[in-house]
């Protein structure tokens, strides 16, 4: 069933949890765009930080044995030196990251204070054909398909030097589910352990799509720069491997191919 809900509406969340009586809640709702969080910091904090608190309060007050998964983020590590794992200090670089840290510690606090099965997955970037069109990987693969279809000539991007640990989203969802099937709740880093720059993604994807040199098509638009940037993320998910038996299977080159193929089909149905 699809129910209407809003993370900024406490009464609404309570009214959903009590009649539904869920066994598990996967809390993925957020204003999740880092650049947008600089333009809308208060809204981002309301949804991303207080939204988590509202759900946890509703779980506590319901008295039901609900298991709770909180979507934390590698953005919380910010400028801390890589590789980042569960013991790495947080150094947030955006209102989004600050809000996610509040959400992370709220989850930990409700686990310790009220014995709720509540845990956070600290997921590094996870991508795929269903990725939102304003995030860099999808923006690139969609841009390629539009260029190939003759709809666009250029693709406008921001900082091409940033490096991310990009994995394949469906595998990360499996890790979320595994976290709620464990005997006790714990916070885990989920990542591939590899890092690549936006430039690497451009090179690989334009090449695979047969367009050749990406520099012919890409222009820099400073509007996409962030007031503070996260330069390098590389996750160490050895704890997840040990506790869940989970490790990333789809690596960078395959991820690029999956995303380019999916978008080429959309604009070039014969491909």
Cβ-closest position to ligand F7E: 162
96 is catalytic: yes
Q: What is the size of the binding site for ligand F7E (CB under 6 A)?
A: 21
Quick check: 119 and 68 in contact, CB under 8 A?
yes
- Strand 126-127 and strand 167-168: the pairing is parallel
Stretch that binds ligand F7E, among 38-46, 170-178, 221-229, 258-266 (CB under 6 A): 221-229
73 binds ligand F7E (CB under 6 A): yes
Is 226 a binder of ligand F7E (CB under 6 A)? yes
Number of alpha helices (DSSP H) and beta strands (DSSP E) in the chain:
10, 10
**Do the beta carbons of residue 210 and residue 102 sit within 8 Å?**
no
Q: Which is nearer to ligand F7E, 11 or 170 (CB)?
A: 170
Which of 139, 146, 239, 241 lies at the binding interface for ligand F7E (CB under 6 A)? 139
Helical segments of the chain, H only: 10-20, 34-39, 41-44, 51-62, 95-114, 136-148, 169-180, 198-208, 238-244, 252-267
In terms of Cβ atoms closer than 10 Å to its own Cβ (0-12, 13-18, 19+), residue 94 is: buried
Tell me which residue has tokens 């279809």. Answer: 149
CA 60 to chain centre: 26
Q: Report if residue 164 touches ligand F7E, rule: CB under 6 A.
A: yes
The CB-of-36 to ligand F7E minimum distance in angstroms stands at: 9
Question: 171 catalytic, yes or no?
Answer: no
Stretch that binds ligand F7E, among 4-12, 154-162, 185-193, 261-269 (CB under 6 A): 154-162
Q: Which of 32, 37, 69, 73 is catalytic?
A: 73
The catalytic site residues sit at 73, 75, 96
Positions that interact with ligand F7E (CB under 6 A):
32, 34-35, 73-75, 124-125, 134-136, 139, 157-159, 162, 164, 198, 224, 226, 229
């Amino acid at each position: 069933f699809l129910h209407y809900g809003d993370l900024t509406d406490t009464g609404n969340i309570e009214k959903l949890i009590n009649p539904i009586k869920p066994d598990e809640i996967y809390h993925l709702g957020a204003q999740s765009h880092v650049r947008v969080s600089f333009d809308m910091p208060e809204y981002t904090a309301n949804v991303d930080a207080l939204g988590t608190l509202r759900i946890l309060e509703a779980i506590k007050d319901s008295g039901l044995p609900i298991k709770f998964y909180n979507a934390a983020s590698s953005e919380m590590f910010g400028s801390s030196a890589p590789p980042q794992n569960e013991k790495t200090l947080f150094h947030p670089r955006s209102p989004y990251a600050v809000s996610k840290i509040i959400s992370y510690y709220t989850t930990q606090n409700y686990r310790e204070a009220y014995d709720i099965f509540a845990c956070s997955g600290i997921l590094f970037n996870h991508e795929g054909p269903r990725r939102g069109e304003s995030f860099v990987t999808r923006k690139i693969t969609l841009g390629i398909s539009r260029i190939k279809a003759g709809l666009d000539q250029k693709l406008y991007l921001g900082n091409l030097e940033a490096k991310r640990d990009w994995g394949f989203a469906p595998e990360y969802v499996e890790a979320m589910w595994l976290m709620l099937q464990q005997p006790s709740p714990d916070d885990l880093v989920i990542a591939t352990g590899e890092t690549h720059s936006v430039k690497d993604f451009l090179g690989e994807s334009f090449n695979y799509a047969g367009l050749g040199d990406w520099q012919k098509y890409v222009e820099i638009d400073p509007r996409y720069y962030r007031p503070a940037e996260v330069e390098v993320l590389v996750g160490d998910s050895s704890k997840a491997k040990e506790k869940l038996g989970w490790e990333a299977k789809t690596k960078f080159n395959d991820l690029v191919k999956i995303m380019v193929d999916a978008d080429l089909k959309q604009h070039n149905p014969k491909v």
